[in-house]
Amino acid sequence: MSDFAELQQRLGYQFRDETLLRLALTHPSVAHESGKEIQHNQRLEFLGDAVLGLILSRALYEKFSEAEEGPLTKSRAKLVNRKTLAEHARSLNLGAHLVLSHGEENSGGRERASALADAFEALLGAIFLDGGFDAAREFILREFQNDFAALAEISGIDNPKGELQELLQVKSPNAPEYKILSASGPDHDRNFECAVFHDGAELARGSGKSKKAAESDAALAALKKLRGG
């Protein structure tokens, strides 16, 4: 088995009970192959998933105080999808430390995204049990700081065209109209500019890589303008 001291140094967390770390890295295939009741990481994965969801939910709630439930939920989903979790596992080189069956080892289990994502969540569960909520929170926020930086803004508006229409209907029964003003760039990288009008007056303009995206951007700009944002 790989050296846990080196791994814990990379994690920035020292386990008081290293059996928890070993359990977090033990793939279910070990029990399946042996036919014995050997403990593996699925229970810790279950716990880690809940811990991760709670900590990231609170962080998003605090960072984006104006965002509604829908955009917050979508942002959390981006942070905890299996691909993202596997990337975190790879950055920590968890694959090299996994305890696998011979069959899983021979079939490339150390690089399998599902195994890596599961091990990462199990690791979070192990840290939570070993060091408590604060230790898990510190580790998770450190691990996800770059992911949070990529979420520079959550508009708080899940359907800008729908919300704009609802806002305008208070004053007039007429729906807003969208007009594509220009399209530029090569076929594989087009950029569209769109204007949104209401009762003959232009409200705002937007742009995007598709006509639909440009219309949504124009609607969002119109909402911000009308609401004084």
Do the Cβ atoms of 204 and 222 come closer than 8 Å? Answer: yes
Domains of the chain: 4-150 (1.10.1520.10), 160-226 (3.30.160.20)
Q: Which of 191, 169, 167 is nearest to 180 (CA)?
A: 191
Question: Which pLDDT tens digit goes with each residue over 74-107?
Answer: 889 888 999 999 999 999 999 999 988 888 888 8
DSSP calls for 52-70:
HHHHHHHHHHHH-TT--HH
Q: Decide if 199 is catalytic.
A: no
Q: pLDDT-derived band of residue 30, with 50, 70 and 90 as boundaries?
A: confident
Question: Which pLDDT tens digit goes with each residue over 109-131?
Answer: 788 899 999 999 999 999 999 99
Please determine, for residue 152, whether its predicted confidence score (pLDDT) is greater than 70: no
DSSP summary character for residue 210: S
DSSP summary character for residue 229: -
b/e string for 201-225 if b means 16 or more Cβ within 10 A?
eebbbbbbeeeeebbbbbbbbbbee
Do the Cβ atoms of 144 and 56 come closer than 8 Å? Answer: yes
Q: Catalytic pick from 45, 49, 130, 217? A: 49
Q: Catalytic pick from 45, 104, 118, 121? A: 121
Q: Decide if 49 is catalytic.
A: yes
Question: Which pLDDT tens digit goes with each residue over 153-207?
Answer: 555 556 788 888 988 988 888 999 999 999 998 887 788 999 999 999 999 999 9
